[in-house]
Structure 1
């Protein structure tokens, strides 16, 4: 399978991890904060989606599909930074996971 995130993008993610490491270190607490950042960003996606659909009648429509996409990208980036902070080869880990999920999906299609 091709890279889920390109080598150039992983290089940028590694530079971000190095930058965060220089600023905050990489203690167990700091790694936990990077993992929790994924949850924070996911909450922002939920908020943007609620705003896009106008689900809150008091606020109405406050976000666009582009806002939701932007927040989803923040989730992906936060997850990639967290992954690169806990494993030596995040590209290999992510590609392996995608391969496993794709294989399960293909198997489910055959049996459906």
Structure 2
């Protein structure tokens, strides 16, 4: 029995999300300057860049750099987190045309492990 009976059941991500990811992946494929395995690795490494931008936004939103002060807002942090999610889904879609099924299956497993524990 779940410790979280009031938690809503996991939902399958919206189909429009995956249509957008497919479209963006196609656009990136058509416009990438590096092909082959290096292009794949660079697309995956883009995640590190995006995560760094989240860190920069958090530091800026909390004013942790005394020389710069408050340079970002929490809206900036939310936006950067969305960029991380999109970039991760694009990397997954680059690895497999079955990204939607892979992600949904993985999310279901994480949800079951976490909420049914």
Q: TM-score, normalised by structure 1?
A: 0.88
More helix by share: 1
Aligned residues: CA RMSD: 1.4
2:111 aligns with 102
User: Partners of 2:48 and 2:62 in 1: how far apart?
Assistant: 21
Please state if 1:42 is matched with 2:43.
no
Displacement, 1:26?
A: 4.7
Q: 1:76 aligns with which of 85, 102, 106?
A: 85
Q: Which residue of 1 aligns with 2:40?
A: 31
Contact 1:45–1:72 at 8 Å: present in 2 too?
Answer: yes
Q: Which aligned segments of 4 or more residues in structure 1 are displaced greater than 2 angstroms?
A: none
Gaps of 5+ in 2: 1-9
TM normalised by structure 2 equals: 0.85
